[in-house]
Amino acid sequence: MRGAPKLTPLISALGASIFLQNFVMISMKAKDQIFPQTIGMKTISMGGVSFTLLQLVIIFSSIGLMGLIYWFINRTRLGIAIKATSTDPFMASLVGINVDTVISVTFMAGSFLAACAGVMIGLYYGSINFTLGYLGGIKAFTAAVLGGIGNVPGAMIGGFLLGIIEALGAGYFSSEYKDVYAFFILIAVLVFRPAGLLGKGVNERA
């Protein structure tokens, strides 16, 4: 699908996601699975703010992973090769970059981060089901679009803003529509600022 229009891989990825989701639903018989709790839920108070040890571990783990992916993309030869390949695969291959290897590593890195997110979600809620990944993927895509596709710091900021907007929307309006706010944000960004908050428009030359 590399030579196909950019919309084709996106639609095929959504189709594969729906297939895997329903496969897990059938294999698990549509039942929630208990996730083992390995971190205590001891409450800690500091400066009038209360949080649990698990929440603290999730926060610092997320910051560490974001720092790791930023360093990998911007400070390693393989990360620079990933940026070059995403910009122009043909020119990247001409300067000696193995495009197949770069694409494989990119998929593995994305899968690793998704797995880490799944573990943290499982630890936080104490259970997992076949719908968690799909909704999380939609929100991750929205955060990436909000911050600017291809911009790692932008995606991080987009994720924080999306979480804050969802929390405020649930508090001031209705918690029943908490997951809908992500779609409203996605539509608004695509209409008014397609490049995202930190993204820059690029003029292609023939």
173 bridge partner residues: none
H or E, element range at 189: helix 181-192
Q: Residue 98's pLDDT band (boundaries 50, 70, 90)?
A: very high
Does the pLDDT at position 194 exceed 90? no
Closest CA to 111 of 69, 167, 57: 69
Separation between Cα atoms, residue 50 and residue 74, nearest integer Å: 36
Per-residue pLDDT for 163 more than 60? yes
The answer to whether the beta carbons of residues 143 and 162 sit under 8 Å apart is yes
Mean pLDDT of the chain: 83
Q: Which of 171, 156, 198, 165 is nearest to 184 (CA)?
A: 165
Burial label, 78 (beta-carbon count in 10 A; 0-12, 13-18, 19+): middle
Asked if residue 174 has pLDDT above 80, the reply is no
The two three-digit tokens of residue 28, written as one number? 């698990």
Overall average pLDDT of the 95-111 stretch? 91
Q: Which two tokens stand for residue 124?
A: 């936080």
| Position 205 pLDDT exceeds 70 | no
Question: By C-alpha distance, which of 115, 124, 116 is closest to 56?
Answer: 124
Question: Is 1 in contact with 101 (CB distance < 8 Å)?
Answer: no
Share of the chain above pLDDT 90, in %: 20
The DSSP symbol for 30 reads: T
Instruction: Find the range with the poorest average confidence among 10-19, 114-123, 187-196.
Output: 187-196
Q: What is the pLDDT of residues 41-64, one digit of tens each?
A: 778 887 777 888 888 889 899 999
Please tell me the predicted confidence (pLDDT) of residue 92. Answer: 92
CA distance 200 to 206: 19
pLDDT digits (tens, 9 = 90+) for 108-131: 998 899 899 888 988 888 888 887
Q: DSSP assignment of 34-57, as one string?
A: EPP--S---EEEETTEEEEHHHHH
Tens of pLDDT, residue by residue over 78-90, are 999 998 998 888 8
